[in-house]
Chain A
Amino acid sequence: MLRTAHVKIATAAAGLALLASACGTTSGGGTTPSAGGGRAKPPSLKALGSVGAGEGTVNILAWAGYAEDGTTDKTVDWVTPFEKETGCQAKVQVANTSDEMFEKMGSGTFDVVSASGDSSLRMIYAGKVAPVNTALLTNYADVPAFEKDQNWNSVDSVAYGMPHGWGAQLMAYRTDKVKPAPDSWSVVWDPGSPYKGAITNYDSPVDGIAAAAVYLMSTKPDLAIKNPYALDQKQFDAAIALLQQQKPAVGTYWASYTDAQKALESGTTVVGSTWQIIVNLAKADKAPVESVLPKEGATGWADTWMVDAKSPHPNCAYLWMNWETKPDVQAQIAEWFGEAPANTKACALTTDKTHCDTYHAQDEAYFSKLWFWSTPQSDCLDGRTDVKCLPYSQWSKAWSSLRS
């Protein structure tokens, strides 16, 4: 209850910020929008040269479960030892959506953010985050090559962050209500689904539309969708039509992980898109909930720690990134959150020795099969040049219209 209230208060405060930010729209500077969809280079910003003594404080904007200080579960705490070791007091705020992270970064309010792929590139091009000096990232060498220099953490081979971990947007279901155990997304997309009214969907433009596109890739092959983040008008319209058709069957679109957890626990929702941590927390409360990666594949997220371009505590920010990606801390996070750790040295340290196998942490083939959140652009991400794809602004507009 208390945690939920905190999240809601943060939500309310963010809402109040609308008027405030409306006054300061001049701060949009940094990007140079260029004609014809091709993008200008990101604003040139300097990475930190060397890590000095900590500034005493670090402000962290993170996904739920990424910076635990023992308040959720007394035994789950890697923030307190960080504070003791480095002298940097960690002030953590949990973000619910990528848009929220995008909005809050760039002003120096936060030093580091655990950005996902659907906001990271936008943050880079908007000049909100600075490149990182990989020589100062003590665990960078232990991250498998297939996670580095990806289009959500680098631009022109310049790294903008430290990989944190990754995973799939899974399907959660109530084992007592959803029988037989589902292995396909059809239980949430099929108009005849018996779970009508108790289906849940993640309230995010990028993940929501891409998830529909992933399902269409296997059910409507004639649409020829090659990448769910590269949709031309026809493919995009098909995805929106699928979402519109699903809408009456959806009970809730969840944006806060605590609300998603409560809905699964009470049985208000019985099946739908989830994060493993939601399922873990619900199971800890003894709710009959399981998760599955359906056969059609799934969207996924690969999260990166990034440093704010105006970070007032850059030394503590680097100390945090290094702490957070240490093998032993990565092992704790990976098991608590339910994801593949970026630092594969963590695999030897997990209490469940099969954890990294379960999450395919070192499996490049599996990694390449997940559709990691990316920012849609008008230059199609799948390399097509004969058509224009719909850029992010169109995705967010269509999602807003769908939800209204």
Chain B
Amino acid sequence: MTALPPAGTSVAPGVPAGRRLSAWLSGRPRVRLAALLAPPAIWLTLVYLAALLALLTTAFFSVDEFTNAVTRTLTLSNVRDVVSDPAYLRASARTVGVAAAVTALCTVIAIPMAFFMAKVAPARSRGLLVALVLTPLWASYLVKVYAWQAMVQPGSGVIAWVLRPLGVDGPGYGLMAVVLTLTYLWLPYMVLPVYAGLERLPDSLVDASADLGAGPWRTFRNVVLPLAYPSIVAGSVFTFSLSLGDYITVQIVGGKAQLLANIVFANYAANLPFAAAIAIIPVLITVAYLAVVRRTGALDNL
């Protein structure tokens, strides 16, 4: 950096290339637009859509019955196997249930937290609070999940130890442990948008509601919640879709429970087309979820 000559002293002969380029571009708005959009468009089509498309196509390929190697004979049998076996319907319902429970828990925990951060805490400590909410994101995903394994471990886990005097068993490994761990993992992704949403909410609206005689609950329900709703929905898109695709947490604290992503993981080596057919389910669920969210109009108010 220090080697650069002071600005203005290096006068290149003729007009600099950069200036010539911008002069040329100034008369061509379409070229400018194309140059702006080309990188994201290439990324989306080549890297993103092409990969998805390849996955979807694979779902219609067959495998050699002996080696299970993929052969490019088209078949509907993978999709038929997925649809006709009630085990996969149950697994889909289980997965949506876990994702919904995680989203609900995150929402219930995040709203008061975000409200405190945005409206109650003194303005100068807000930055610190946001940083604290983000701290868990600095630790490795695996460290956090294994920490939760120690929490929920049956018999000797922290939760079981705390509950023992009450005569209650801990959750042990299973779906409950998965929901708790995922809620812990994804909570910052819900707190941040809700905090941002509440921070934009003018204090005067809360005051006005109180002046007009509404109690705190009424103010929350009729003023705060409707205005924070779009940010809650934004957070839920994160928590829901992240939960939908997780399989490592399920492996570590889920006991023998399996969610859709585990089935994909268990099959991709043995039978890739079948794994691809299973993988279509979460894609459809996410699309359906986003469609519902869009219909509520929440995305327009972000």
Q: Residues of A at under 8 Å CB distance from B?
A: 1, 4-5, 8-9, 11-12, 14-15, 17-23, 25-26, 28, 30-31, 33, 37, 39, 97, 99-100, 102-103, 122, 125-126, 203, 205, 247, 250-253, 255, 259, 266-268, 375, 377-378, 391-394, 396-397, 400-404
Partner of A102, one of B247, B263, B269: B269
Is there contact, CB below 8 Å, between A25 and B54?
Answer: yes
Q: Are B66 and A39 in contact (CB under 8 A)?
A: yes
| B residues near A266, Cβ cutoff 8 Å | 153, 155-156
Within the complex, which residue of B66, B70, B248 is in contact with A375, where a contact is CB–CB below 8 Å?
Answer: B66
- B55, B70, B90: which contacts A19 (Cβ < 8 A)? B55
A400 touches which one: B142, B256, B261, B267 (CB < 8 A)? Answer: B267
Name the segment of B3-11, B56-64, B111-119, B192-200 touching the other chain.
B56-64
Query: In the complex, are the beta carbons of B248 and A396 less than 8 A apart?
Result: no
| Contact B66 A268, beta carbon cutoff 8 Å | no
Residues of B at the A interface (CB closer than 8 Å) are 50-51, 54-55, 57-58, 61, 63-72, 81, 85, 87-88, 90-91, 140, 142-143, 146, 153-156, 173, 247-248, 251-252, 255-256, 258, 261, 263-272, 274-276, 279
Query: Is B51's CB under 8 angstroms from A19's CB?
Result: yes
Question: Are B256 and A33 in contact (CB-based, < 8 A)?
Answer: no
19 A–B pairs (Cβ distance < 8 Å), ordered by A: A5-B146, A15-B247, A22-B272, A23-B51, A28-B71, A28-B72, A33-B66, A102-B270, A103-B270, A250-B256, A378-B65, A392-B67, A393-B68, A397-B81, A400-B263, A400-B271, A401-B87, A403-B256, A403-B263
CB neighbours (8 Å) of B143 from chain A are 5
Is A11 touching B268 in the complex (CB atoms < 8 A)?
no
B140–chain A nearest beta-carbon distance, Å: 8
Interface pair B69/A30, CB less than 8 Å apart: yes
Q: Could you list 11 further interchain pairs (A-B, Cβ under 8 angstroms) beyond the known A103-B270, A378-B66, A400-B267?
A: A8-B251, A18-B265, A31-B64, A102-B270, A122-B67, A247-B256, A266-B155, A267-B155, A394-B65, A404-B85, A404-B88
Are B271 and A404 touching (Cβ within 8 A)? Answer: no
Q: Which residues of B contact A247 (CB under 8 A)?
A: 256
Tell whether, in the assembled complex, residue B268 and residue A404 are in contact, meaning their CB atoms are under 8 Å apart. no
A255 to B264: give the CA distance in the assembly, Å: 15
> Contacts A122-B68, A251-B255: A11 and B54 contacting too (C-beta < 8 A)?
no
Is B90 a contact partner of A33 (Cβ separation < 8 A)? no
CA–CA, A21 to B267, complex, Å?
13
Contact between chains at A125 and B263 (CB < 8 Å): no
Q: Are B275 and A205 within 8 A (Cβ)?
A: no
Chain B residues whose CB sits within 8 angstroms of the CB of A394 once the complex forms? 65
- Separation of A403 and B251 alpha carbons in the complex (Å): 12
CB B139 to nearest CB in A, in angstroms, measures: 12
Of B65, B71, B252, B279, the residue contacting A391 (CB under 8 A) is: B65
* Residue of B whose beta carbon sits closest to that of A198: B154
Nearest CB on A from B60, distance (A): 11
Give, as a whole number of angstroms, the nearest-CB distance from B243 to chain A: 16
7 nearest CB pairs, A to B: A103-B269, A28-B70, A99-B269, A391-B65, A22-B55, A404-B87, A23-B54
Nearest-CB residue, chain B, relative to A15 = B265
Bound Cα distance A21, B275 (Å) = 12
Q: Are A4 and B146 in contact (CB under 8 A)?
A: yes
Question: Once bound together, how far apart are the Cα atoms of A282 and B263, in whole Å?
Answer: 29
Structural contact, B61 and A25, CB atoms closer than 8 A? yes
Q: Is the CB of A100 within 8 A of B269?
A: yes
Contacts of A39 in B (CB 8 A): 66
Q: Which of B50, B91, B248, B251 has the most CB of A within 10 A?
A: B251
CB neighbours (8 Å) of B54 from chain A are 19, 22-23, 25
Partner of A403, one of B66, B142, B266: B266
**A377 touching B66, Cβ below 8 Å:** yes
Complexed CA–CA distance, A12 and B142 (Å): 10
Tell me whether A268 and B72 are in contact in the complex, defined as CB-CB below 8 angstroms, given that A21-B272, A22-B54, A252-B255 are known contacts: no
Separation of A220 and B70 alpha carbons in the complex (Å): 37
Which B residues are in CB contact (< 8 Å) with A26?
72
In the docked arrangement, what's the CA distance between A251 and B153, Å?
Answer: 12
Chain B residues whose CB sits within 8 angstroms of the CB of A378 once the complex forms: 65-66
Contacts of B274 in A (CB 8 A): 397, 400
Interface pair B263/A392, CB less than 8 Å apart = no
Residues of B within 8 A of A97 (CB): 269
A404 to B50, CA, bound (A): 29
On whether the beta carbons of A28 and B69 are closer than 8 Å, the reply is: yes
Nearest-CB distance from B275 to chain A (Å)? 7
A5-B142, A404-B88 as given contacts; A99 in contact with B72, CB under 8 Å? no
Assess the B268–A396 pair: CB atoms within 8 A. Answer: no
Q: Which of B57, B81, B266 has the most A CB atoms < 10 Å from its CB?
A: B266
- A103 to B155, alpha carbons, bound, how many Å? 38
Q: Is the CB of A22 within 8 A of B81?
A: no
Q: How far is the CA of A391 from the CA of B51 in the complex (A)?
A: 30
Tell me if B155 and A392 are in contact (CB < 8 A). no
- Known contacts A18-B275, A401-B85; is-contact A253 B256 (Cβ 8 Å): yes
A residues less than 8 Å from B269 (CB atoms): 14, 97, 99-100, 102-103
Query: Across the interface, do B248 and A8 meet the contact criterion of CB distance under 8 Å?
Result: yes
* CB pair B142 A9 closer than 8 Å: yes
**B64 proximity list for chain A (CB < 8 A):** 28, 31, 33, 126, 393
Contact A268–B275 (Cβ < 8 Å): no
A46: min CB distance to chain B, Å: 21
Distance, CA A28 to CA B68, complexed state (A): 9
Query: A22 to B58, Cβ gap below 8 A?
Result: yes
